[in-house]
Structure 1
Amino acid sequence: MKQISIWSLFVICTLRIGAYFKRPLIAMMFFHSILSSQSTPVPVSVPASVTVRMCVDAALTAHPVASMAEARVDAANAKYDESGGALLPQLRFSARAIGLSHVEPTSIKLPIPGSQPITLFPSIDHQYGARLSLTQPLFAGFRLSSAKEMARLAAEASVEERLRDRADLALQVEQAYWTWVQALEAQDVLEKVLVQMTEHEKLVRRLVEQGLSTTSDLLNIRVKRSDVQVRLIDARTGADLARMALNNFIGNPLETPLVPAESPLQYLDVKADSLSNHPDVRADAFADRPDIRALSLRKSISEESLSAARGGWYPQISLAANVDYARPNSRIIPPQDKFSDTWDVGIQLQWTVWDWQTTSAQAEQAQASVRQAEAGLQLMTNAAKLEVAQYSRRLRDAREQVAAARLGVEAAEESRRIVGEKFQAGTSSNTEVLDADVALLQAKLNLTKAGAEFRLAKARLRRATGELP
C-alpha cells in the first residue's frame, strides 16, 4: 500500500509539472520512460556451451599459431614470385645531372698563316644524361632455375607446415578440452559422494545419540568426508585452470565462463568406433602426415641447392641493350653541347676460371645438407611409425579400460546399495559403508578418466595418421 501511494504521488507531481509548463505529453513520456527503465530486466551472463569442434574451429581462427602459419605461407609465395622475376628481362632507367669545374677547351692551330685555332674538346661545364637498360639472362649455370624451383618447393613446404601446425594446435585444444571436462566430471562425482557421506554422517550421528553406534564410527566418517573435501577442492582448482587454458586457446578472456556440451562418455560406443574397430592401422598411414610431406619437400630443396652450388663451375651469359640520351653524348666526338641519342646491344659472358675452390666447398656443403635432410626424413618417418603403433595400442587399451570401468561402476553401485540396506537393517558395520562409498567414488573416477583417455587416444591417433582437423 505504501508503494502504491508513492507512485501515485509521483504521477500527480509529474502531471502538475507538465500542466505548469503546458507540456503534459512530454511529462507523460518522461513518466513512461521511468516506468520502462524500472521494469526492464537486467541481462544475465549465461556461460557459453561449447563442443570440441567449436573450440578447435575457434582456435584455428583466433590463435597466434594459426596466424603465424598463414604469414609463413604468404611469405613463401612472395619469395616464389620474386624468384621467377630473375629469369625475366630486367628494365632499368637512370638519369644524371652533373656540374663540372671550368677547364680551358682543347684546341689545335694548323701551321697555316691566317688560320684560326680548331677546338677539339670544348669546355662543357654542365652534363645531363638518361639511360634505359635491358638485361636478359641467357644462361646462369642452372642457378636461376634451381633458385626458382627451390622457392616453389619452399612454398609447398610452408603449406604442409601450416597444416602440421594446425593439426598440432587442434590436438592441443582437444587435450585441453577433455582435461577440463574430466576435471568437471571428477568434481561432479566428488560433490555427489560428499552429499551422500554427509547424509550418512547425519544417520550415524542419530545412531550415536541413541546409543546404537560409537563415536569412533562418527569420527571415521568425518575423516573420509574430509578427504573427499580435499579432493573436491583440487578438482575445482584443476577445472578452473583447465578452463583458463581452453579460453587461452580459443581467444577468450581467461575468466570467461564455459559449459561443456560433451561428456567423455556421451555417445561413446567403443565397439562401433571407426578407429578403434580396427585392430591394426595400416602401416603406411603416417605417409599422409603433413610434417612428413614437409620434410620430403625440404629434402628436395637441399638437392636443388646442390645443383645451384655446382652452377658456379659454369659461365654466365646474358643479353644487354642500352639506349642513351645525353648532353653531351660520350660516344660523339668531338663532344657537342646538345642532347643526342645512341644505343648499343651485346652479349656478355662471365666465367670464374679460378676461385680457390670456393665453388667446390659450396657444393660439399650442399651435399652434406642433402645427407642431413635424408637422415632427418628417415628419423621423422621412424618416429611416425612408432607413434602410429603406440597410439593404436593405447586406443585399444583405452577401449578395454572403458569397458572394465563401466563394469566396475555397476558393481560398486550395487555393492553400495546392498551395504546401505544392511546397515539400515543393522547387519552391516559403518566401516563397510565407508569402504563401499570410497569404492564407488574410485570406480566413477576411473570411468571418467577412462572415457577422457579414450577420447585423447583417439585424437592422438588421428594426429599420428595425418588426419587433418
Structure 2
Amino acid sequence: MHGCINNYMFNHLFIALEFMSKKYLYLSVFFILFLSFSGHSQELLSLDDCRKLAIENNKNLKIATEQERVAYYQKKEAFSKYLPEFSAMGAYLKLQHTINLLPDVITIPSIGSLPSMTIPTNGIGEVDIRNIYIGSLSLTQPIFMGGRIVAYNDVMKNAELLAKTQKNAQLRDVIAETDAAYWQVVSLASKLKLAQSYVDLLKKMDSDISIMEQEGVATKADVLSVRVKLNEGEVALVKVENGLSLSRMFLNQLCGLDISRQNTLVDEQSESLNINEDIAIIPNVDEALSNRPEVKSLEYATKIYKGKERIARAEFLPQIGFRAGYMWTNPNSRHGFEKKFNGGWNLGLVVTIPFSFGNTSKLNAAKAQTIISGLQLADSKEKITLEVNQNAYKLTEAQRKFTMSEKNLEKADENLRYANVGFEEGVIPTSDVLAAHTAWLSAHSEKIDAQIDVKLSAIYLKKSLGRDF
C-alpha cells in the first residue's frame, strides 16, 4: 500500500516539476524576446546615422530623384530627333462598286456613207477593286529644321542639369533640417539633465531647511520660499521632458522611424560639444555664388529659356526633309489591277515654308521669359550675398555668446559653492542661496543654448556658402 502511495506521489511530483519547467522555459523565452524587442526599439544614433536615415526616407528627395530620371529620358528622346524615323502602315478599303474603264456602250460616229454604230462593251472595261489592301514602309530624315533640333537638345540637356541641381538643393535642405532637429534634441536632453540636477539641489535644500526650521534657525517663510522654487523647478522639468519628447518625435519622423521610438543620440552623452570646426568657418561670397544650387538652377533656367527662344526663332525658317518608302497594293496597277501584291519604291524631298503670324508672338514671349530669368538670377545673387553676411554675423555673435557663457558658468559654479557652504554654516540667508541656484541654472542653460547656437549658425552658414556638411 505504501509503495502505491509513493508511486502516486512521485508521479504527481514529476508532472508538477515538468509543468514548472515548461512554465519557466516559456517565461525565459518571453523574457529573451522582450529584451530583443527592447533592444531593437532603442538605438544609439550619431549625426551621420540620422543624416543617412533621413536621406533614405525623405519623400521630397525621392521625388527629386524621379524628376532627374524624367529629365534624363527626355534628353534621350530629344537626341532621337536627329535620327531617321521609320514607320510601317497597313490598310484595308472596302468599296461599294467596281470601276468601269469603258462606258457600257461605245458609239462610233458616221463616216461618209456609213451610218453611226453603237457597240456594247459587255463589261470589258470593268475592274473589280472593291477589296483593296495597302501596305507601306517609310523613312523620314530631317535635313534642315531651322536649328530647332539642336536648340531642343540644348534645352533638354540643361533641363537634366537643372533637375540634378534641384536634387542637390533638396539634399542640402534635408541634411540641414535633420542637423537642426538633431541638435535640438541634444539641447533639450542637456537641459533635462540640468533641470533634474536643479530639482535635486532644491530637494536637498528643502530637506536641510526643514531640519533647520525644526532646530529654530530657519523660519517658515524660508521653508515656503524653497518649496515654491522647488515647485517651479519641477514644472520646468515637466516642460523640458515634453519638449524633448516632441523633438524626438520630429527627428524620428525626419529619419523615417516610428515616432514613438526612444533613440539615444551620441552627443547627448557629451558634457561639452566640440565647436572648434564650426568656429573656423571663413565666409566667402564668391564661393557662395559659384556653389549655391539656387544660382546654378537659375543659370540653367536662363539657358533653357534662351534655347526656347532659338526654337521660337526657328519657326520663321524653312524646313527640309527627305522621305523614302516602298508601297504594296492588292490589286496592283502594274498589271491591269491584278489581284496580287505588287509595289514600288519612292523618294522625295519635303520643303515647308511657314507663313504664320503667330510665330512673332511666340518669339517675343520667349524673349520675355529669358529676361525674367536673368532678373531672377540677379535678384537671387543679391539675396545670397545678404544671406551669407547675415549668417556670418550670426555665427560671430554665437561664438561671442559662447565665450561669455563659459565665463559666466565659472562664476555661477563658484558662487553656488560659496552660497551652499555659507548656508550650511548659517551665515548666508535662504534668499541668497536661492538666487545662487537660479544664477547657476541660468548660466548652465545659457551655455547649452550658446553651444547649440554655434552649431546651428555654422550649419546655416555652410548651407548659404553651398559647402558640404
TM-score using structure 1 length: 0.89
Work out the CA distance in 1 between the residues paired with 2:468 and 2:367. 34
> Match for residue 296 of structure 2?
293
> Match for residue 259 of structure 1?
264
- State the Cα distance separating 1:450 from its structure 2 match: 0.7
> Match for residue 168 of structure 2?
163
Out of 326, 343, 346, the residue aligned to residue 344 of structure 1 is: 346
Check conservation: 2:54, 2:174, Cα contact below 8 A.
yes
> Match for residue 184 of structure 2?
179
Work out the CA distance in 2 between the residues paired with 1:236 and 1:243. 11
Paired residue total? 445
- State the Cα distance separating 1:34 from its structure 2 match: 5.7
Work out the CA distance in 2 between the residues paired with 1:198 and 1:267. 26
Could you tell me which amino acid in structure 1 is paired with residue 393 of structure 2? R
> Match for residue 237 of structure 2?
232
- State the Cα distance separating 1:269 from its structure 2 match: 4.5
- State the Cα distance separating 1:336 from its structure 2 match: 3.1
Give deviations 1:235-254, integer Å, cap 9, x for gaps: 11111111111111110111
Out of 44, 62, 67, the residue aligned to residue 62 of structure 2 is: 67
- State the Cα distance separating 1:14 from its structure 2 match: 8.3
Could you tell me which amino acid in structure 1 is paired with residue 14 of structure 2? I
Work out the CA distance in 2 between the residues paired with 1:350 and 1:388. 54
- State the Cα distance separating 1:73 from its structure 2 match: 0.3
Kindly report which structure 2 residues correspond to 1:290-439, keeping only aligned pairs within 5 A, or say none: 290-329=293-332, 332=334, 334-353=336-355, 355-356=356-357, 358-439=358-439
> Match for residue 255 of structure 2?
250
Check conservation: 2:51, 2:179, Cα contact below 8 A.
yes
Identity of aligned residues (%): 20
- State the Cα distance separating 1:153 from its structure 2 match: 0.5
> Match for residue 6 of structure 2?
none
- State the Cα distance separating 1:333 from its structure 2 match: 7.8
1:152 paired with 2:141, answer no
1:189 paired with 2:197, answer no
Check conservation: 2:55, 2:174, Cα contact below 8 A.
yes
Could you tell me which amino acid in structure 1 is paired with residue 347 of structure 2? V
Cα distance 1:8–1:325, how it changes in 2: closer, same or farther (>3 A)? farther
> Match for residue 204 of structure 2?
199
Work out the CA distance in 1 between the residues paired with 2:308 and 2:327. 39
Check conservation: 2:324, 2:347, Cα contact below 8 A.
yes
Work out the CA distance in 2 between the residues paired with 1:382 and 1:11. 89
Work out the CA distance in 2 between the residues paired with 1:55 and 1:9. 59
Check conservation: 2:137, 2:325, Cα contact below 8 A.
yes
Work out the CA distance in 1 between the residues paired with 2:64 and 2:118. 87
Work out the CA distance in 1 between the residues paired with 2:272 and 2:448. 14
> Match for residue 49 of structure 1?
44
- State the Cα distance separating 1:391 from its structure 2 match: 1.3
Cα distance 1:13–1:71, how it changes in 2: closer, same or farther (>3 A)? same
Out of 76, 83, 86, the residue aligned to residue 81 of structure 2 is: 86
Check conservation: 2:283, 2:388, Cα contact below 8 A.
no
Check conservation: 1:91, 1:132, Cα contact below 8 A.
yes
Give deviations 1:127-175, integer Å, cap 9, x for gaps: 1111111111111111111111100110011001100000011100111
Cα distance 1:348–1:196, how it changes in 2: closer, same or farther (>3 A)? same
- State the Cα distance separating 1:36 from its structure 2 match: 3.5
Work out the CA distance in 2 between the residues paired with 1:266 and 1:385. 36
Kindly report which structure 2 residues correspond to 1:123-134, keeping only aligned pairs within 5 A, or say none: 123-134=128-139
* SS of corresponding position for 1:98: strand
Check conservation: 2:285, 2:385, Cα contact below 8 A.
no
Please list every run of 5 or more consecutive structure 1 residues that lacks an aligned counterpart in the other structure: 1-6, 16-27
TM-score using structure 2 length: 0.89
> Match for residue 145 of structure 2?
140
Check conservation: 2:151, 2:307, Cα contact below 8 A.
yes
Could you tell me which amino acid in structure 2 is paired with residue 321 of structure 1? A
Work out the CA distance in 1 between the residues paired with 2:282 and 2:177. 26
Cα distance 1:419–1:113, how it changes in 2: closer, same or farther (>3 A)? closer
1:209 paired with 2:214, answer yes
Work out the CA distance in 1 between the residues paired with 2:218 and 2:249. 46
Give deviations 1:79-133, integer Å, cap 9, x for gaps: 1111111221000111112222234634246648989557445132211111111
Work out the CA distance in 1 between the residues paired with 2:460 and 2:273. 17
> Match for residue 4 of structure 1?
none
Check conservation: 1:384, 1:464, Cα contact below 8 A.
yes
Give deviations 1:192-235, integer Å, cap 9, x for gaps: 10111011011111111222111111111122122222222221
Work out the CA distance in 1 between the residues paired with 2:214 and 2:292. 69
Q: Which moved more, 1:228-237 or 1:130-139?
A: 228-237
- State the Cα distance separating 1:35 from its structure 2 match: 5.2
> Match for residue 3 of structure 1?
none
Give deviations 1:286-311, integer Å, cap 9, x for gaps: 31122211211111111111111101
Please list every run of 5 or more consecutive structure 2 residues that lacks an aligned counterpart in the other structure: 1-8, 109-116
Cα distance 1:119–1:156, how it changes in 2: closer, same or farther (>3 A)? farther
Check conservation: 2:394, 2:457, Cα contact below 8 A.
yes
Q: Which moved more, 1:113-122 or 1:62-71?
A: 113-122
> Match for residue 114 of structure 2?
none
Work out the CA distance in 1 between the residues paired with 2:300 and 2:387. 22
Check conservation: 2:102, 2:121, Cα contact below 8 A.
no
> Match for residue 39 of structure 1?
28
- In angstroms, what is the RMSD of aligned CA positions? 2.5
